[in-house]
Chains A and B, each alone.
Chain A
């Protein structure tokens, strides 16, 4: 699977969608600050991984996909849900890198702040991209196994089914 750059979704985006994301991001940061000053850094730290923007981004992806399908004369409701689901899979894979970010930052913060930020971000990137790559490899291998199974001659397929049943 090759990672591609496509500016088409930026053109599809409406101005208020960017405003919503900006407001939610700003509000989440203010909220985290308020929690930390009210309940201390240990509870405040939990909220550094708050899925505040996830709500908006999943909804926007669903709406974009539905809009595309509606323009082609289809309902697009299920396609919208599937697109949001794929985004959620990506978010799950991205969150695998988050504990790495937190751990590296916690270890490096007292030595040098810029180094702590740079290394923590690099750790998040490496772990998340590696998790995504492994996920894609597993998916591709499962898909090819399924394709081979269904394209096999019927006698062989019956044998295979028999083997599984046995």
Chain B
């Protein structure tokens, strides 16, 4: 039941931000909504309902490293599309590796020392 609620709420919030991005121009401005905290909004709302505020605050704190990794991932996608001229699907899938590498490197470097 909990995971069904997660699926529905996550799907709705992500679709709402994606549609907002669809109706706005120019394309770079619309692209802002591709990095909207839609999954974070849905997940943190459910976390607050199930766990304590401290638990949600811990999730939000490490989300910062994920967000920096998202920046690196977006820059990587842009470069792969512009210079080696990859298509969007392989470029975004390859950039997921960049996201994982940056997010976990920052997490282990900064959280292990904290």
Docked CA distance A118–B13 (Å): 15
Contacts of A33 on B, CB cut-off 8 Å? Answer: 2-3, 6, 43, 46
Number of A-B residue pairs at CB separation under 8 A: 321
Q: Which of A7, A46, A103 contacts B103 (CB 8 A)?
A: A46
Per-residue interface assignment for chain A, residues 90 to 115, with 1 indicating a CB less than 8 Å from any chain B CB and 0 otherwise: 11111111110111011101100100
Task: Report the contact-size class of chain B (Cβ under 8 Å from the partner).
Answer: 35 or more
Q: Which of B44, B78, B88 contacts A62 (CB 8 A)?
A: B88
Q: A5-B23, A33-B46 are in contact. Are A48 and B60 (CB under 8 A)?
A: yes
Q: Which segment, of A18-26, A145-153, A158-166, faces chain B?
A: A18-26
Q: Looking at chain A's contact residues, is the secondary structure mostly helix, strand, loop, or mixed?
A: helix
Beta-carbon nearest neighbor of A98 in chain B: B67
* Residue from A25, A57, A86, A103 having most chain B Cβ neighbours under 10 A: A25
Contact between chains at B11 and A53 (CB < 8 Å): no
Contact between chains at B58 and A49 (CB < 8 Å): no
Minimum distance in angstroms from A141 CB to a CB of chain B: 16
Contacts of A117 on B, CB cut-off 8 Å? Answer: 41, 44-45
Minimum distance in angstroms from A148 CB to a CB of chain B: 23
Q: A58-B77, A99-B67 are in contact. Are A29 and B32 (CB under 8 A)?
A: no
Mark out the residues of chain A between 52 and 101 whose CB falls within 8 Å of any chain B CB in the assembled complex. 52-55, 57-59, 61-62, 78, 80-99, 101
Contacts of A107 on B, CB cut-off 8 Å? Answer: 57
Contact between chains at A95 and B60 (CB < 8 Å): no
Q: A21-B14, A44-B59, A48-B37 are in contact. Are A88 and B71 (CB under 8 A)?
A: no
Q: A18-B15, A106-B61 are in contact. Are A47 and B66 (CB under 8 A)?
A: yes
Contacts of A53 on B, CB cut-off 8 Å? Answer: 14, 18, 34, 38-39
Is A3 interfacial (CB-CB < 8 Å)?
yes
Contact between chains at B39 and A91 (CB < 8 Å): no
Contacts of A46 on B, CB cut-off 8 Å? Answer: 62-63, 65-66, 69, 103-104, 107
Q: Which of B30, B53, B61, B87 contacts A90 (CB 8 A)?
A: B30
What are 23 A-B pairs at a CB distance below 8 A? Answer: A13-B22, A18-B15, A25-B12, A26-B11, A28-B39, A41-B55, A42-B107, A45-B66, A51-B70, A54-B34, A55-B89, A58-B88, A81-B86, A88-B78, A89-B74, A90-B30, A94-B31, A98-B67, A101-B67, A105-B40, A109-B53, A117-B41, A132-B28
